[in-house]
Structure 1
Amino acid sequence: MLRHEFQPGRLIAGTALVAAAVVYAGDAGGAWETPWFVVIPLVVGGLCLAGGVGAVTGLVRRRRGRPVSEGGDTGDRARTTGG
């Protein structure tokens, strides 16, 4: 049972930021030398990709229609019964 909706845009954003953290951690640990400007395209590209994926996901969900949550009332019954 899912407790929340899967959001692939947030997954991509998190992956890009973790990758940036790994690059800086490797530099801090002495595993390799990383110029300061290398992480900027990684973070910006990851956030732009995440935004695009999030927008496409929103369009797909809007087009397919959202399922009614358990126990939730959409208000349709109140309008159709007249009262």
Structure 2
Amino acid sequence: MLRHEFQPGRLVAGLVFAAAGTVYAGDAAGLWDTPWFVIVPLVVGGLCLAGATATVTRGIRRRSGKKRLGRSTLDG
């Protein structure tokens, strides 16, 4: 299996969509009653959280990448 870069924003988005699916699966199974409009804030809030996570991750990686790049050019 090829290694790839870990992307926490996608992880958060996947967990939110899994939670939304669980909510509707519980409703379909009769475990609880879920109004149709509950999914909208769940998905929108989750996507906003995933976007914020991806933005923070990108900022951290860009900042640490510049530090590594700066050190390697000074040394060699």
Aligned residue for 1:4, secondary structure, equals coil
> What's the TM-score once normalised by structure 2's chain length?
0.81
Kindly state the Cα deviation for residue 29 of structure 1 after the two structures are TM-superposed: 0.8
Aligned to 2:51: 51
Aligned to 1:21: 21
**What is the total number of aligned residue pairs between the two structures?**
66
Instruction: Tell which has more relative contact order, 1 or 2 (C-alpha 8 A, sep 6+).
Output: 2
Kindly state the Cα deviation for residue 65 of structure 1 after the two structures are TM-superposed: 0.6
* Segments ≥4 residues shifted beyond 4 Å: none
More helix by share: 2
Q: CA RMSD in A?
A: 1.7
1:22-77 alpha-carbon deviations (Å, 9 max, x no partner): 0000001111100000111111000000000101100110111188xxxxxxxxxx
Identity of aligned residues (%): 67
Aligned residue for 1:5, secondary structure, equals coil
Q: Where does 1:42-81 land on structure 2 (aligned, <5 Å)?
A: 42-65=42-65
Aligned to 1:7: 7
Q: What amino acid does structure 2 have at the position aligned with 1:39? A: I
CA distance in 2, matches of 1:43, 1:16: 7
CA distance in 2, matches of 1:46, 1:10: 11
Aligned residue for 1:64, secondary structure, equals helix
> What's the TM-score once normalised by structure 1's chain length?
0.74
- Looking at CA atoms only, which structure, 1 or 2, has the larger radius of gyration? 1
